[in-house]
Chains A and B, each alone.
Chain A
C-alpha cells in the first residue's frame, strides 16, 4: 500500500509539451508511472514521444483527456500565470487528485483555486512542491526515482532537496518508504501535514513517519497536536531554519517568520511536547526512526 498514488494511478500531464513538462514526463514514464494523457491547449491530436517507443496522446483540454483515457490524477507543469487556471480546469474535469509543481503562483489566485477544488472534493497537492513518489509503484512530480526504495516509512515534507537528503539517508540505511510526499513551500497549500499524517496512519504498510518542517506558519504545531491525539504510529521530525532571521523570506514564499509565530524553536518545542523526537541534524533522522520503530 501507499498513500495518494499507487499502481492504479492514471496520470494526465498538464503542460506536457513544455521544457519541464516534457523532461519530467519522460522521467516519470521511465520510473513506471502510468502516464495516459497530456494536455497542451492548441496541440490536441499530437503525440508525446516517451522513452522506449512509448507514446502519449495530447489533448486540448482536461475534460477531453479524462473522457478519452479515464485519468484519475493530474500533474501541472505550467508557468505561474496560468497555473491556477490549470488547477481550476483539472478540478472540474473529473480527476480526484491534482499535483501542482509550479512555483510562484500568486497567492490570491490560490485562495480561489483551493476553495474551488475543496467544493468539488478534489485533493490538491502544492503548489510549489516536488510532488510525491510511492516507491516501486508510481511517481508524480519531480522527485528523483533513484534515491527511494520500497519499505515501511512514510515521509512528508515542505521542502524539495532537503526531503531528498533525508530520503536518501533512509534508503542507504535500509529503510525504504511507502510514500514520500512534498507538500510545498507556499503559504497556501492544498494538502497539509495533517492530511498526510492521517493517510499514513490509515495505511497498513506504513509503520513510522518522518516529518520535515520549516519556519513560517503554524502547520507543524497543529500537526504535532494531531500526532499526540490521533496517531498510533511513531513520528520523528526535523525543522529547517533555526538560523533564519525574522521577517525575511528564505527562498520558499511561505518560509518567513512573522511576529512571534513560525520560528523553528516554537515548532521544535511543539514536536517535543507532543512526543515527536526532533533531529538536531538531518543525519540524526535515521537513528531516531530506527529507535522509534525498535521500541514499538
Chain B
C-alpha cells in the first residue's frame, strides 16, 4: 500500500526527522488560508500515488497566498497518470543549498533492509543507479542489529564534507530506519534531503510504501489508505478477499492461483485477445466468492466474455462446478461464460456444468481460444 507524501511526512516527523510544516487543502480557499498563515513563499504539491508530479505540473512555487490559491485551483482536479488530484499539500518554501537522496527498501537479494544514499538528490534514483552507480553508496542492514551508529555515519559521510551536516544526516538516517521499521514499510525515501544556507539538514519530500501483510497489526497505518485513488472494483475485491487487478482488455478471467492467473492472461494474449483483469479466487469453491468474482468482472463494461480456469488439486472440481452453477443462478450474467476445469473429479464437474448448459473444457488452451473468439478478438 502506498501512502501520500503528507502521510509519510507525519511518520517521519514522529520519528524525529526534521520536516518543514505543512497542511492539506482540498479547496483553493483552504490553500489560500494555509499559505496566508505561513506568510511568504509556499509550495503547493499535488497528493497522488504517482511519481513525476513535478513534470506533470502538480508541484508549484507560489510567491504569496493569492498565487497559492491560483495554483491550487489548477492542481486540484488535475489528472496525473490517470489519477485525479483531490488534495494538495501547502508547505513553506525552503532555501536550498544542496539536494541529496536517502532511501531504504527491502532488498530481495540480500533479504534485508538496504539503504541507498546519493549526493545527487531530487532526481530519479533508478536512473542514477543504472547510469552512474559510483554516485550511490549502499548498505545492507543486518536485521539482528538494526542500523549501527558507525554505519549511519558511513552513509552520511558520502553525502557531505561538513562535519555538522554529517552529524545531522547520520541522525536522520537512523531515524528513517526507525520510521521504516515502525511503519511496517517496504520502502521509505527522502528525495530530496536538503541543506539550507543556515546549515540545517531537512527532508522536504517523503515517500513510503507499506507491506500489505503488516496492516493487520498496524491499524494506525492501515487507516492511511486512500480509497479514492483505487478503482471501485478493486476495493470491492479487496473487501471480498480476492486478488484483482483491472486491465484494459475484454476477456474477463477468473482463475484459482496467482501464477495460473498470470499464465491465463498471457495465453489470452497469445491467442490474440486482451485480458480484462487479473483475478485469483484462491482455493475456495465457496459460491459466495464465485458470486463476488462474477460481480466484479461484470462491473467492467469492457468485458465481452468470461473464462474460468480452475485447476482442482486439493480443491475438488465438482465442488467448484457446483459453486459456479449456484452463483450464476443468483446473479444474471450477460457475457458468455466458458469454463475449464481439470484435476480432481473433473469428469463429475464436466457433467454438472454441461447439464447446467455451460461450455466446459479440460484444456487450458481450448478454453482460452474460445473465450478470445467469443470476445470477438480473433
Kindly list chain B residues whose C-beta atoms are within 8 Å of the C-beta of A254.
108
Cα A188 to Cα B143 in complex, Å, equals 13
Chain B: interface secondary structure?
mixed
Cα A264 to Cα B211 in complex, Å, equals 23
| Interface pair B266/A161, CB less than 8 Å apart | no
Kindly list chain B residues whose C-beta atoms are within 8 Å of the C-beta of A241.
262, 265-266
Kindly list chain A residues whose C-beta atoms are within 8 Å of the C-beta of B280.
251
How many residues of chain B get a CB closer than 8 Å to chain A's CBs? Answer: 51
Residue of B143, B263, B269, B344 with most partner-chain A CB within 10 A? B263
Kindly list chain B residues whose C-beta atoms are within 8 Å of the C-beta of A187.
106, 108, 186
| Interface pair B262/A240, CB less than 8 Å apart | yes
> At the interface, yes or no: A44 with Cβ under 8 Å from chain B?
no
Cα A275 to Cα B309 in complex, Å, equals 31
| Interface pair B266/A240, CB less than 8 Å apart | yes
| Interface pair A188/B106, CB less than 8 Å apart | yes
Which of A110, A147, A283 is in CB contact (< 8 Å) with B364?
A283
> At the interface, yes or no: A259 with Cβ under 8 Å from chain B?
yes
Kindly list chain B residues whose C-beta atoms are within 8 Å of the C-beta of A280.
270
Cα A238 to Cα B263 in complex, Å, equals 9
Q: Interface segment, A60-68, A89-97, A197-205, A209-217? A: A209-217
Kindly list chain A residues whose C-beta atoms are within 8 Å of the C-beta of B275.
243
Please give me the residue from chain B that is nearest to A182 by CB atom: B259
Q: Interface segment, A7-15, A69-77, A162-170, A225-233? A: A162-170
> At the interface, yes or no: B112 with Cβ under 8 Å from chain A?
yes
Q: Interface segment, A33-41, A51-59, A100-108, A286-294? A: A100-108
Cα A250 to Cα B255 in complex, Å, equals 12
Cα A245 to Cα B260 in complex, Å, equals 16
Which of B263, B312, B365 is in CB contact (< 8 Å) with A162?
B263
> At the interface, yes or no: A185 with Cβ under 8 Å from chain B?
yes
| Interface pair B211/A106, CB less than 8 Å apart | yes
Cα A113 to Cα B61 in complex, Å, equals 46
Cα A252 to Cα B213 in complex, Å, equals 11
Kindly list chain A residues whose C-beta atoms are within 8 Å of the C-beta of B126.
259-260
**7 residue pairs, one from A and one from B, having the closest CB atoms:** A159-B259, A251-B258, A161-B257, A162-B259, A144-B313, A240-B262, A161-B260
Q: Give chain A's interface residues, CB within 8 Å of chain B.
A: 23-24, 27, 80-81, 104-108, 110-112, 114-116, 142-144, 146-147, 157-165, 168, 185, 187-188, 212, 214-215, 217-219, 238, 240-245, 248-255, 259-260, 264, 280-283
Q: List 5 A-B contacts (CB under 8 A).
A: A108-B143, A144-B312, A147-B313, A164-B313, A250-B243
Can you add 10 more A-B contacts, CB < 8 Å, to A115-B112, A243-B266?
A: A106-B184, A111-B112, A115-B144, A144-B313, A161-B255, A161-B260, A187-B106, A219-B108, A240-B260, A243-B265
Q: Give chain B's interface residues, CB within 8 Å of chain A.
A: 106, 108-109, 111-113, 126, 130, 142-144, 181, 184, 186, 211-214, 216-217, 243, 245, 247, 255-263, 265-270, 275, 278, 280, 311-314, 342-344, 363-365
